[in-house]
Amino acid sequence: MTPNAHEEARNLIALGDSVSQAEYAGIRAHLDVCADCRQYAETAQQVARSMRAIPIAADRTLVRTTQMRVRARAEQLRQRRERLLLVTFSCALVAISSALSTAVVWKGFEWLGRWTQLPSPAWQAGFVLFWIAPTLAASLLFLAHGTYLSSNGRTRQ
């Protein structure tokens, strides 16, 4: 057995339960033939059992602080979920409203084009500009103010 194989086996033993099935099978095969690594594995298991047997008591301040942070994070996640639901509902409402009103607005621009005797391409271009103007305005506002994504989820002060 090469020194690298012993070192690799010991590194995998140190990982404990986080090794894959294939790695575990390789360790078992190596431990069957290597007394030094087998002794190392037994010692590592004894140390792990001893560490698990030691009761760990957290300071009251640490517990309260942790609970406070967990509650604050839960509240943040709840608010985020509520905002996402509101945004989803708003997007659905806008999509439905757009689908229903497009034909009416088109007819209105067509009537206005005939009434003012504009050529078809002129009132059609006016319709397109009218239809995308709110999106362009919102895009400019977001660019001017900065986006939510650029702040990585942090609120602006």
Report domain extents, the chain.
3-53, 83-151
Determine if residue 34 is left, alpha or beta; phi over 0 gives left, psi from -120 to 50 gives alpha, anything else beta.
Answer: beta
Q: How far apart are CA 44 and CA 14, in angstroms?
A: 7
Residue 123 has pLDDT above 50, yes or no: yes
Q: Rounded to two decimals, what is the model's pTM? A: 0.39
Taking alpha carbons only, the member of 57, 1, 53 closest to residue 29 is 1
pLDDT digits (tens, 9 = 90+) for 55-111: 888 889 999 999 999 999 999 999 999 999 988 999 899 889 888 888 898 999 999
The number of residues in the chain equals 157
Residue 39 has pLDDT above 60, yes or no: yes
CA 9 to chain centre: 36
Tell me the mean pLDDT in the region 138-157: 64
- The conformation of residue 151, written as its DSSP 8-state character, comes to G
pLDDT at 156: 47
pLDDT at 145: 73
Q: How far apart are CA 96 and CA 100, in angstroms?
A: 6
Q: How far apart are CA 2 and CA 84, in angstroms?
A: 57
